[in-house]
Amino acid sequence: SQKIEQNSEALNIQEGKTATLTCNYTNYSPAYLQWYRQDPGRGPVFLLLIRENEKEKRKERLKVTFDTTLKQSLFHITASQPADSATYLCALLGRGNTGKLIFGQGTTLQVKP
């Protein structure tokens, strides 16, 4: 069955450093991969989308890579700030128009000042 794995352990880093979060998947060939941010007590918020034929996508301090051979996506936050502390979810989207997203369990990032 389809499986998405994100590091369940919290990631603690110092302000100003680059945070790197990993998303691995098996038994799936997604057409798109999305990253969302979720703060406690709130719904997820869309951050970035990358297509299967794209290697890298950037948006301000965020960078996402997508390696369909390794079945892995890396999510980077450069010059991290305490306000970046949150849980980050990766989600896979297949072909077709159903919009069915399969989410990982998320990785909690804590940026310390």
Partner 1 sequence: DTAVSQTPKYLVTQMGNDKSIKCEQNLGHDTMYWYKQDSKKFLKIMFSYNNKELIINETVPNRFSPKSPDKAHLNLHINSLELGDSAVYFCASSHPRTGGSYNEQFFGPGTRLTVL
In angstroms, what is the minimal distance from the CB of 16 to partner 1? 28
| 63 versus 103: smaller Cβ distance to partner 1 | 103
| 14 versus 98: smaller Cβ distance to partner 1 | 98
CA–CA separation, 33 and 53 (whole Å): 11
- Enumerate residues 38-57 that contact partner 1 by CB under 8 A: 41-46, 49, 51
CA–CA separation, 85 and 29 (whole Å): 30
CB 76 within 8 A of CB 58: no
Length of the chain: 113
Joined together, the tokens standing for residue 104 give 């990982």
CA–CA separation, 18 and 11 (whole Å): 11
Tell me the window of 9-17, 66-74, 78-86, 95-103 that interacts with partner 1 (CB under 8 A): 95-103
| 1 versus 14: smaller Cβ distance to partner 1 | 1
97 binds partner 1 (CB under 8 A): yes
CB 21 within 8 A of CB 11: yes
Applying CB under 8 A, the residues found at the interface with partner 1 are 31-32, 34, 41-46, 49, 51, 87, 89, 93, 95-103, 105-106
